[in-house]
Structure 1
Amino acid sequence: MMRLFVIGAALIGGGLAATSTYAVPSTAPTNAAQLDPAPVGMSYEFFTFPSYHTNVTATPQCEKNLKDASGTWLPIRIGGTTQDLSYTVASDKDAPKILKFEPSFMKLAGQYEGSVTLGLNRGHNDVQNTVAAARSAKEQMPNLLAIEMGNEPEYFKNDGQPIAKGTWDAATDAASQASWQISIGKAVGNIIQASNSLQNPPQWGAEQLLNAHNSSAIGYVKTFSHHNYPGGSIQSLMSHANVVKNMNTFRNDVAVAKRAGKQYVFGETNSATGGGAANVSPSFGAGLWVADVCLRAATLGISRLYFHHGTIGACQYCWWGRYSMGAPYYGAMFATAAFGGGTSIVPIDSGNSRHAAYVIFGADGKPVRAALYNSDYFAGSGSRGNHVFVLTGLTGESVKTKKLSAASATSRVDQGASPTWGGQKYEDGTCKITGTETRETVAVEGGRASFTVGASEAVLVYL
């Protein structure tokens, strides 16, 4: 066993704090999940993408901060409900009923320095139009990673999409996807991102599509995508045990895709559907969820998570745009820094407690960072509890740490309670880093070191 899990007690600040002990593997175990160069990604709603990249001042700097933390530009996905619509809107705050776009859209997307997954229309059942759009994307986007055909097809029937006339269920959708994969694939190659459903697998999932498709259709698939919005209160959302339970829902679907040689991604995810929950999604607790879900998903082999950003000015879960800055951005920065340059990851916690511990390994197989998270809920009143994480198997005489913190799990940037990441903040309107970075030194004795993490806080340990 690579994990040693012991509960005890330590005297902290005049009181008792629970303690858990974890063994850090000296080399990456054989079951360590391989990491994508940039697991933390961004999904832009199709009709809002141009405005995010031409009208929102913070966008280029926010994207660059994430790139600087990981060494790789974050991947973006352009899609959502409006990818399945065919209109021009007067205001970028109006979600269109119909949508038309032209090659200039592709040109703008092609200027992004990272990879781009592009969602195209399947709902209108005009495969030749989508083939033409896919060809245009392939020609004008040197950064094109994948093409989606349709967003959340399980809702096509209720949305009145023409393709869903008559019988429309998971089986008919699977047949439709197979046919479209061949048509689009012949035009642009094996870069299809399939599935793109929100309903939990196995229905509408990768396993079902693999069972229904022939080798020709599957040959054009590069990636299987699923969407995930857990919802709930701040407390239930940020609970580590709940994060583990939610991610385990996808364990088999991911494994099936991997056995077929395909990547598995969350093509769209965030804290709650419909642009987010007003009392939950802008909170620091939602930011802690971002950090934990990225790390846990990666341990299952989910290559990338694309966090959705919708209508500008009406998007509760947006990292930037609705408010100048959103607290969840801090969680994204934490996870990105934890992954940065790493090649594999394992969880070393039990998975059923409030306390999370992950180890990230470098190209040489040696541990480079440990991410520690205390999901005990702190609402800002009374005494803030602590949890002591004891790591064993460490080398050297000391390690450095960097803390993700806020006044409480309910803290919000727009209410004057910005989180801090290593003592620093991100400036409203510009996303520029302000303040001096703070790293603490923790002594290592006999290969052991103790890290005190407050309730609703996380710490990154540089090994």
Structure 2
Amino acid sequence: MLSHLVSALAIPALVSAATVTYSVPAAAPTTAATLDVAPVAISIEFFTWPSYMTNVTATTQCLSNFEALTGEWPAIRIGGTTQDRADYNPSTSAYVVYSTSSATGVPTILTYGPSFIDLAAAYKGRVTMGLNRGHNNITNTILAAKYSKSKMTNLYAIEAGNEPEYWSGATAAADAQAQDDWAIRIGQAISTTDIMEEGNSLSPPPTWGAAELIATENSTVTPYVKTFSHHAYPGGDTTTLMEHSLTVSKMAVFKADIAAATTAGKQYVFGETNSVSGGGAASVSPTYSSAIWTLDYALYATTLNAKRLYFHHGTLGACEYCWFGRYTMGASYYGAYAASAAMASGSKIVMLDAGTTNYATYIVYGSTGAPLRAVLINTDFYSGSGTRGSEVFKLTGFSTTSVKAKRLTAAASTSRVDEGASPTFGGQEFENGSCVKTGTEAYETTTVSSGAANFTVNASEALIVYF
């Protein structure tokens, strides 16, 4: 029996649940993907980087919550549209200099100085630095790259240019040649190989993708390339965004691209991603459905061998999908936190379901090769009124008499923190403004009989089962 869920939420009547059954492999299958130490990462729009780190109280605490789970601070990518509007000025003492017509405006031109890079150097995790290629001034970009290399012991990669397919007159073939040329020249200038992040396009592969770039590379450029990156914003409404089968089908376009990078011995990342492009959709991105999507999306992407997903944070005050820095916590932070909790200390991951329904089942394996956690997700929509549907997940292969689990839940798929309806994960919340975890941690206990256990997961809920 599942123990009573410790939560302030009233639990509505449930629809009689169907059952899906999976046998959990005792060891990671050969098809399982290898996990990065911290797959859930952060992207921060270039011009907002100093503000997120010096003016937003929640930033450090929100990031340290992930570090407490994984033992490593989340990787950060600093970039976006404004990286290709930003010129490096080694003489300015300011982090960044720009002007806008409103408090939430985006600058069309800006400069930044050494202190901008010093701030990145002070971060405790890996940093990918986005630099300007849009102005086609490689001399200026190399100046910034040299200073970054000299100051940043945490410099993971340099990204030259953001979404170049939107530049005037751009073609995929010409851009591939330019990316390769810049990778060689920047790498040589800073005397560093294994440093450049290539790709960084939003248009879907194969035209703008890793496979296309790899086909243009020779033994001169390849040593300088560290990672291939693509951007992804699947979009949808509160129902379709989180549907597991749609998440799987939308990701199909990246499979060959990821495989090409993996075969070439390079990592593939989603260097900028989130729910809906352009800062998010007010009716979708702040809702709890986005939390369920974030969890499922992060887990599924890693099963395809994507190493990290950099969830984008844009203009302060005008960012519906932001986890923090808005007027309140973003509900999707809960999904990201649950994903980190699920994969923490994991070595391998595999999806057991076929990806054709709304019900997802993932198994994370530890360093010994044994199952570490199962993640069960019900992506059915629930409006908050009437009967709430549920699904029973039956797992076999347990060797204990009982297992514990933590539940991600909210009152409805449309619940929003700014409307007083916060999700909970294991009975706990994250305090608005500070991101401090509050409440008493709650586990559920399920009895195992003959190696099998049944887990009921309500519509728009997820359960992390600890082996």
Q: Name the TM-score class by shorter chain.
A: over 0.9
Q: CA deviation at 1:13?
A: 7.1
1:454 aligns with 2:458: yes
The counterpart of 1:211, out of the listed 206, 215, 225, is 215
- Tell me how far apart the structure 2 counterparts of residues 120 and 182 of structure 1 sit (CA, whole Å): 15
1:192 aligns with 2:201: no
Q: CA RMSD in A?
A: 1.3
Q: CA deviation at 1:89?
A: 2.4
Assess if the C-alpha contact under 8 Å between 2:149 and 2:155 holds in 1: yes
Question: 1:171 corresponds to which letter in structure 2?
Answer: A
Within a 5 Å distance, the mapping from 1:65-214 to structure 2 comes to: 65-86=65-86, 88-90=97-99, 93-157=104-168, 167-188=169-190, 189=192, 190-214=194-218
For 2:376, what is the secondary structure of its paired residue?
Answer: strand
Question: 2:97 corresponds to which letter in structure 1?
Answer: T
Q: Corresponding residue for 1:3?
A: none
- Tell me how far apart the structure 2 counterparts of residues 99 and 317 of structure 1 sit (CA, whole Å): 24
- Tell me how far apart the structure 2 counterparts of residues 31 and 178 of structure 1 sit (CA, whole Å): 32
Q: CA deviation at 1:69?
A: 1.8
Q: CA deviation at 1:14?
A: 8.1
- Tell me how far apart the structure 2 counterparts of residues 368 and 310 of structure 1 sit (CA, whole Å): 35
- Tell me how far apart the structure 2 counterparts of residues 15 and 286 of structure 1 sit (CA, whole Å): 23
Q: CA deviation at 1:259?
A: 0.5
CA-to-aligned-CA distance 1:396-455 (integer Å, 9 cap, x gap): 111100000000110000011100011100001111111001001111111100000000
- Tell me how far apart the structure 2 counterparts of residues 176 and 299 of structure 1 sit (CA, whole Å): 32
Within a 5 Å distance, the mapping from 1:14-413 to structure 2 comes to: 16-86=16-86, 88-90=97-99, 93-157=104-168, 167-188=169-190, 189=192, 190-413=194-417
Shift in CA distance, 127/390, structure 1 to aligned 2, threshold 3 Å: same
Assess if the C-alpha contact under 8 Å between 1:196 and 1:227 holds in 2: yes
Assess if the C-alpha contact under 8 Å between 2:14 and 2:387 holds in 1: no
Question: 1:177 corresponds to which letter in structure 2?
Answer: Q
Assess if the C-alpha contact under 8 Å between 1:35 and 1:303 holds in 2: yes
Of the structure 1 ranges 330-339 and 178-187, higher mean CA displacement relative to structure 2 is found in: 178-187
Q: Corresponding residue for 1:7?
A: none
Q: Corresponding residue for 1:427?
A: 431
- Tell me how far apart the structure 1 counterparts of residues 327 and 188 of structure 2 sit (CA, whole Å): 43
Q: Corresponding residue for 1:161?
A: none
Assess if the C-alpha contact under 8 Å between 1:88 and 1:96 holds in 2: no
- Tell me how far apart the structure 2 counterparts of residues 176 and 214 of structure 1 sit (CA, whole Å): 14
**Displaced runs of 4 or more, over 6 A:** none
- Tell me how far apart the structure 2 counterparts of residues 104 and 410 of structure 1 sit (CA, whole Å): 41
| Identity, % of aligned positions | 55
Assess if the C-alpha contact under 8 Å between 2:14 and 2:390 holds in 1: no
CA-to-aligned-CA distance 1:238-286 (integer Å, 9 cap, x gap): 0000111112210000000000000000000000111000100000001
1:416 aligns with 2:417: no
Question: 2:408 corresponds to which letter in structure 1?
Answer: L
- Tell me how far apart the structure 2 counterparts of residues 367 and 64 of structure 1 sit (CA, whole Å): 26
Which ranges of structure 2 fall in alignment gaps of 5 or more residues? Answer: 1-11, 87-95
CA-to-aligned-CA distance 1:317-359 (integer Å, 9 cap, x gap): 0001113211000000100000000011000111111100000
Q: CA deviation at 1:308?
A: 0.2
Question: Which of structures 1 and 2 has the larger relative contact order (alpha carbons within 8 angstroms, sep 6+)?
Answer: 2
Q: Corresponding residue for 1:160?
A: none
For 1:238, what is the secondary structure of its paired residue?
Answer: coil
Q: CA deviation at 1:93?
A: 3.2
Q: Corresponding residue for 1:4?
A: none
Shift in CA distance, 57/334, structure 1 to aligned 2, threshold 3 Å: same
For 2:261, what is the secondary structure of its paired residue?
Answer: helix
Q: CA deviation at 1:15?
A: 5.5
Assess if the C-alpha contact under 8 Å between 1:359 and 1:369 holds in 2: yes
Assess if the C-alpha contact under 8 Å between 1:263 and 1:303 holds in 2: yes
- Tell me how far apart the structure 2 counterparts of residues 81 and 292 of structure 1 sit (CA, whole Å): 27
Q: CA deviation at 1:395?
A: 1.1
Assess if the C-alpha contact under 8 Å between 2:242 and 2:290 holds in 1: yes
- Tell me how far apart the structure 2 counterparts of residues 34 and 241 of structure 1 sit (CA, whole Å): 23
CA-to-aligned-CA distance 1:34-62 (integer Å, 9 cap, x gap): 00000000000000010000000011110
Q: CA deviation at 1:236?
A: 0.6
Assess if the C-alpha contact under 8 Å between 2:16 and 2:389 holds in 1: no
- Tell me how far apart the structure 1 counterparts of residues 251 and 401 of structure 2 sit (CA, whole Å): 36
Shift in CA distance, 106/15, structure 1 to aligned 2, threshold 3 Å: closer
Assess if the C-alpha contact under 8 Å between 2:59 and 2:324 holds in 1: yes
For 1:124, what is the secondary structure of its paired residue?
Answer: coil
